[in-house]
């Protein structure tokens, strides 16, 4: 269609030239009517083709835009957890929204015009060659000079575009972080500080935009000046050819009309070229994510019908990718037996949550081996593993959806009965029923519309509905009383493996096995009595707990008096 349209457009200068010859000659009266008819038909054909072509192009581009956004989103979701430790949310969101917009805007508008004008340039030059080879060669010789300028400015734009996207991403980052931590910002009365931080980022973007604007103005000016110089030289040379009777005056008119269109088409091509380079700059950033191979080993294939849930950590040494020099776990060996509650205690930062992250396969240990039912953890299929292992983390995150959707998260096909049963066990059923819309109440962004304890209980229900074989409670039962806590354990299938991480003594005392972690090493292990008999770290931990409970009770009694 582009070809037909470009071809049809060539009719106007050609027949205008013919008409000039006819007006000067007057021998062929039919030539005038013929020229007018052909011109009209070709113009209509060109307009129809332009319409069809624009329509198809823009629809295709919208489709490409949406599928690229989807592709980037999917690629980001497939990345390893270490990637999310490093990349900021604002940067990721910016790539999915701003960068894809920049790319597809430039591509849909500018590339479509670039293609039009490219075809026009070819057809116009062909028509010019037919009229006068000498004039055409003269025109062609002038082209490289005006081609060099946009090439340089294109490169400049490409670099600048990357910088602009990066600075926009930084600003986005500040905005996302501020809005998602609004309560903290307010409670520290730091609205002005955050506004200042955001403004600072915007100022950086503005500074880059100014350079971009100056560059754009300079390149447009140089482009038009150079093509103007080319036009004047052609007119001068063409005039001399007519005087020397080498070219007819009608042909010169056609040629000049072609040439005017030709130079303006080349001008447009050159002014759009930097935009395409800019789109390339933005797309480079997008495809950096799409092409990034997640640093995770290939998914395993094991999906055994029954899983005992026997976990063994054998001589595990691990350092976080962000801090490769600090070993968080040092040659650790431990075992979680089916049907047993294993408690993990130890000072803050001793590596308890890290053990959970390794069990969830978020990171890979540098040394040692993790076995599940005697088989390497890596051999299990990812989806299977996460169905069998449920983790309620220290700070459970709820989604801005209804309580129902939150509990059924990851198990959408669960029935309402299953959901209620899970909620009952998590001691959440009563309070959910008292919420304004019951299970359909919105939990708010990050669960902001329910209390901390309620959030924890919903998260426990979300874990229990999966009927996991291995349940990990990472300091997640602080809002439950001892009785409710026991109800949670008894709800699990028999022989289920429970890993309990806690800073409180309750729950830990009754665990079948207690592991005391210190500085990434197993300092002591055994049951409550055995550990107390050792008079070591665990005993110290128990004494500290008792002292603080004693102190709290005294405080309550004193304030009562």
Ligand X SMILES: Nc1ncnc2c1ncn2[C@@H]1O[C@H](COP(=O)(O)OP(=O)(O)OP(=O)(O)O)[C@@H](O)[C@H]1O
Contacts with ligand X by CB under 6 A lie at: 85, 320, 322-323, 328, 346, 348-354, 394
CA dihedral 372, 377, 380, 382 (to 10 degrees): 120
DSSP structural state of residue 371: E
Q: Which of 501, 491, 481, 499 is nearest to 390 (CA)?
A: 499
CB of 46 or CB of 393, closer to ligand X: 393
Q: How far is the CB of 85 from ligand X (least distance, A)?
A: 5
CB of 82 or CB of 111, closer to ligand X: 82
Q: How far is the CB of 333 from ligand X (least distance, A)?
A: 17
CB of 130 or CB of 542, closer to ligand X: 542
Secondary structure of residue 482 in the 3-state scheme = helix
CB of 135 or CB of 501, closer to ligand X: 501
Q: How far is the CB of 151 from ligand X (least distance, A)?
A: 45
DSSP structural state of residue 438: G
CA distance 52 to 54: 6
Q: How far is the CB of 560 from ligand X (least distance, A)?
A: 32
CB of 62 or CB of 548, closer to ligand X: 548
CB of 293 or CB of 322, closer to ligand X: 322
Q: How far is the CB of 512 from ligand X (least distance, A)?
A: 21
CB of 85 or CB of 151, closer to ligand X: 85
CA distance 203 to 216: 20
Secondary structure of residue 388 in the 3-state scheme = helix
Q: How far is the CB of 176 from ligand X (least distance, A)?
A: 19
Q: Which two tokens stand for residue 189?
A: 């009365």
Q: Are 18 and 35 in contact (CB under 8 A)?
A: yes
Q: Are 90 and 221 in contact (CB under 8 A)?
A: no
Secondary structure of residue 514 in the 3-state scheme = strand
305 burial via Cβ count (<10 Å: 0-12, 13-18, 19+): exposed
Question: In DSSP terms, which residues pair with 476 in a beta bridge?
Answer: none
CB of 378 or CB of 517, closer to ligand X: 517
CA distance 269 to 220: 11
CA distance 279 to 104: 8
CA angle, 408 then 412 then 413, to 5°: 120
Q: Are 511 and 341 in contact (CB under 8 A)?
A: yes
CA neighbours closer than 13 Å in the CB half-sphere of residue 174: 16
Q: How far is the CB of 183 from ligand X (least distance, A)?
A: 21
Q: How far is the CB of 523 from ligand X (least distance, A)?
A: 13
Q: How far is the CB of 86 from ligand X (least distance, A)?
A: 9
CB of 83 or CB of 320, closer to ligand X: 320
Q: Are 128 and 262 in contact (CB under 8 A)?
A: yes
DSSP structural state of residue 241: H
CB of 16 or CB of 394, closer to ligand X: 394
CA distance 122 to 355: 66
Q: How far is the CB of 478 from ligand X (least distance, A)?
A: 12
Q: What are phi and psi of 471, to 5 degrees?
A: -115, 130
CB of 73 or CB of 320, closer to ligand X: 320
354 burial via Cβ count (<10 Å: 0-12, 13-18, 19+): buried
């Amino acid at each position: 269609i582009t070809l037909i349209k470009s071809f049809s457009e060539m009719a106007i200068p050609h027949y205008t030239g013919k008409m000039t010859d006819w007006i000067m000659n007057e021998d062929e009266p039919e030539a005038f009517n013929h020229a007018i008819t052909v011109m009209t038909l070709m113009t209509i054909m060109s307009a129809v083709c332009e319409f069809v072509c624009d329509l198809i192009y823009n629809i295709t581009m919208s489709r490409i835009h949406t599928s690229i956004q989807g592709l980037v989103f999917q690629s980001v979701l497939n990345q390893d957890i270490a990637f999310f430790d490093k990349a900021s949310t604002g940067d990721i969101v910016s790539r999915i929204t701003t960068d894809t917009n920049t790319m597809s805007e430039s591509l849909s508008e500018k590339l479509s015009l670039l293609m039009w004008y490219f075809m026009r340039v070819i057809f116009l030059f062909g028509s010019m060659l037919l009229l006068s080879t000498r004039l055409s060669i003269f025109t062609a010789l002038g082209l490289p000079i005006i081609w060099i300028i946009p090439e340089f400015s294109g490169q400049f734009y490409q670099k600048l575009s990357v910088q602009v996207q990066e600075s926009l991403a930084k600003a986005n980052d500040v905005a996302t972080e501020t809005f998602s931590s609004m309560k903290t910002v307010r409670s520290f009365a730091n609205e002005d500080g955050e506004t200042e931080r955001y403004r600072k980022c915007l100022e950086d973007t503005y500074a880059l935009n100014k350079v971009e604007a100056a560059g754009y103005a300079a390149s447009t000016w140089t482009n038009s000046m150079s093509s103007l110089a080319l036009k004047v030289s052609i007119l001068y040379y063409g005039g001399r050819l007519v005087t020397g009777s080498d070219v007819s005056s009608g042909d010169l008119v056609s040629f000049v009309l072609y040439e005017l269109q030709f130079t303006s088409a080349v001008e447009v091509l050159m002014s759009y070229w930097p935009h395409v380079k800019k789109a390339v700059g933005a797309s480079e950033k997008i495809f950096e994510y799409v092409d990034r191979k997640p640093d995770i080993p290939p998914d395993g294939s094991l999906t055994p019908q029954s899983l005992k849930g026997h976990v063994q950590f054998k001589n595990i040494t691990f350092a976080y990718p962000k801090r490769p020099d600090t070993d968080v776990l040092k040659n650790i060996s431990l075992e979680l037996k089916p049907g047993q509650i294993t408690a993990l205690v130890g000072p803050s930062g001793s590596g308890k949550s890290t053990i959970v992250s390794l069990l969830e396969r978020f990171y890979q240990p540098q040394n040692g081996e993790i076995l599940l039912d005697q088989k390497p953890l890596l051999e299990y299929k990812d989806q299977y593993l996460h169905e069998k292992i449920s983790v309620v983390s220290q700070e459970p995150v709820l989604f801005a959806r209804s309580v129902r959707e939150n509990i059924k998260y990851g198990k959408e096909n669960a029935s309402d009965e299953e959901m209620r049963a899970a909620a009952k066990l998590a001691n959440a059923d009563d309070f959910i029923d008292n919420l304004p819309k019951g299970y359909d109440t919105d939990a708010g962004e990050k669960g902001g519309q329910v209390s901390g304890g309620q959030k924890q209980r919903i998260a426990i229900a979300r874990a229990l509905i999966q009927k996991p074989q291995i349940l990990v409670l990472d300091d997640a039962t602080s809002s439950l009383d001892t009785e409710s806590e026991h109800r949670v354990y008894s709800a699990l299938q028999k022989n289920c493996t429970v890993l309990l991480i806690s800073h409180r003594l309750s729950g830990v005392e009754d665990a079948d096995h207690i592991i005391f972690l210190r500085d990434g090493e197993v300092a002591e292990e055994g049951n409550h009595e055995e550990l107390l008999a050792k008079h070591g770290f665990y005993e110290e931990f128990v004494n500290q707990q008792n002292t603080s409970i004693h102190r709290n009770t005294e405080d309550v009694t004193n304030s009562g008096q």
